[in-house]
């Protein structure tokens, strides 16, 4: 009988592994943080999110072993403001890193602005508790002194400075990015290591592979100390390129080839963490910077059952796939708790035991209770910014649209007075306006918007 009880006790030990109750893990080393950020990946582009033909076994396994979010949001529907929000934990309007009247929507190679030097990024905030940080991949937050990753706390940088369709070479038509076989040297995008150009134009067919090799190497080199790895993939933003090993292997065509290589890349990172004995002490978040670029046709992704795509504040423009993984700490499951990239900054600092910098307004919150204890989060509004304007707001299960845009498709913006209202729990495709039936919900959302806008102080325009 005693032997049987001992066997049962041993079998139940994993169920009693506690979530993080402080900054320290079992080996007394603050947890590592890895954020894998894809570009234009849609809500419906992974197997675990329902895609019928794109094969993503590594991400599907990550989802099976971790926490898969059904209601996770990027903080903007396009590249630059989304990345600024992720790294600062603040809506991009606060740093001036979003479209203002008369400015562009994102940074371009000739843009004079960038992420202001006074902004505190996650990398710079993690310096105090002794983290080493690396940025690998696409930056798109400025190329000038003061706005580069090395100016914002990153110790190691291996990057392309902006989107892969910028710096288009003379004579190449803009439509070339739609081709299933775009010219590899058609865009004069540079690849830099720690501020020095090492290749221009970069061979984009090798980018995902080289980013992955750099990420694994960084993990191995820094396994004895806490680290933050920001792996920001260039793909699947058009033009689409895959390495020889993946080109022509997906039923979904070149877009599928690219996503399947991103899946392989994620598998390599997770396997490196497991091989080095770091998996249980590393929080890994996989997500996307915005929804799919639907007007790229077959070269763009899918938002699944969601309405709209990149550039819009419909759900398909900002609700993105997201998976959190930390074996033994995050219990496998699926959550419909709303969360966003704004939450990554305060969550990572909480794990590191570092308080949020004072005298700064943050828009995210620490979601550790959800990740490690499966606790519901307090209800809070989420604001769908398109440029400097709030186009919509979610509160609980409800979403009100004040303005609706097209999604790069030429449709004019439309102002709604009264706002249109959807119950996202019952109607995630945003088909049935129920504003007339729930005036009290609209009143609560309007009150949340008024409070938010009354306290908003926009930063100096950077775009």
Cα(206)–Cα(210) distance, integer angstroms: 6
Cα(5)–Cα(336) distance, integer angstroms: 37
Q: What are the Cα distances from residue 132, in Å, to 122, 126, 128, 157, 223?
A: 11, 8, 10, 12, 10
Query: Does residue 393 have an active-site annotation?
Result: no
DSSP letter for each residue of 219-288? HHHTTTS-EEEEEE--TTSSSP---TTTTT--TTTHHHHHHHHHHHHHHHHHHHHHHTT-GGGEEEEEEE
- Read off φ and ψ for residue 235, nearest 5 degrees: -90, 160
Cα(278)–Cα(60) distance, integer angstroms: 20
DSSP reduced 3-state for 383: strand
For residue 116, give both structure tokens: 């202001």
Maximum CA pair distance of the chain?
82
DSSP letter for each residue of 181-198? S--TTSB---EEETTEEE
Half-sphere exposure of 173 (CA within 13 A, CB side): 4
**Catalytic-labelled residue, pool 51, 58, 135, 140:** 140
Query: Does residue 79 have an active-site annotation?
Result: yes
Q: What are the Cα distances from residue 25, in Å, to 22, 366, 373?
A: 8, 17, 15
Q: Are 421 and 402 in contact (CB under 8 A)?
A: no
**Catalytic-labelled residue, pool 51, 79, 135, 233:** 79
| Catalytic residue numbers, as ranges | 79, 140
């Amino acid at each position: 009988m005693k032997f049987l009880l001992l066997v049962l006790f041993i079998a139940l030990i994993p169920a009693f592994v506690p979530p993080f109750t402080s900054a320290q893990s079992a080996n007394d080393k603050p947890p590592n943080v890895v954020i894998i950020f894809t570009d234009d990946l849609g809500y419906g582009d992974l197997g675990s999110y329902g895609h019928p033909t794109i094969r993503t076994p590594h991400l599907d396994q990550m989802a099976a072993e971790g926490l898969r979010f059904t209601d996770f949001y990027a903080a903007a529907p396009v590249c630059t403001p989304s990345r600024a929000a992720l790294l600062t934990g603040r809506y991009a309007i606060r740093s001036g890193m979003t479209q203002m009247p008369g400015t562009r929507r994102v940074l371009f190679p000739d843009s004079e602005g960038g992420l202001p030097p006074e902004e505190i990024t996650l990398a710079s905030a993690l310096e105090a508790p002794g983290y080493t940080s690396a940025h690998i991949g696409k930056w798109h937050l400025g190329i000038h002194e003061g706005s580069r990753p090395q100016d914002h706390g990153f110790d190691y940088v291996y990057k392309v400075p902006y989107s892969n369709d910028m710096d288009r070479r003379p004579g190449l038509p803009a439509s070339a990015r739609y081709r299933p076989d775009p010219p590899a040297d058609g865009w004069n995008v540079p690849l830099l290591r720690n501020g020095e150009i090492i290749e221009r134009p970069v061979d984009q067919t090798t980018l995902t592979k080289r980013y992955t090799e750099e990420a694994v190497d960084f993990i191995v080199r820094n396994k004895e100390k806490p680290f933050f790895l920001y792996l920001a993939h260039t793909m699947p933003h058009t033009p689409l390129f895959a390495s020889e090993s993946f080109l022509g292997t997906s039923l979904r065509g070149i877009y599928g080839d690219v996503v399947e290589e991103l899946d392989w890349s994620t598998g390599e990172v997770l396997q490196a963490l497991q091989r080095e004995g770091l998996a249980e002490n590393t929080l890994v978040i996989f997500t996307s910077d915005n929804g799919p670029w639907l007007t790229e046709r077959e070269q763009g992704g899918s938002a699944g059952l969601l309405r709209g795509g990149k550039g819009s504040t419909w759900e398909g423009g900002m609700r993105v796939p997201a998976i959190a993984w930390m074996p033994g700490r995050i219990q496998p499951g699926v959550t419909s708790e709303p969360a966003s990239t704004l939450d990554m900054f305060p969550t990572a600092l909480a794990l590191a035991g570092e308080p949020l910098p004072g005298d700064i307004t943050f828009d995210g919150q620490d979601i550790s209770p959800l990740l490690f204890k499966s606790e519901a989060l307090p209800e809070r509004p989420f604001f769908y910014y398109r440029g400097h304007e709030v186009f919509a707001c979610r509160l609980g299960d409800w979403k009100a649209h004040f303005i609706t845009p097209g999604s790069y498709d030429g449709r004019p913006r439309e102002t709604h007075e009264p706002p249109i209202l959807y119950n996202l729990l019952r109607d995630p495709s945003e088909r049935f306006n129920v504003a007339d039936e729930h005036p009290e919900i609209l009143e609560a959302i309007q009150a949340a918007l008024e409070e938010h806008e009354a306290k908003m102080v926009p930063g100096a325009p950077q775009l």
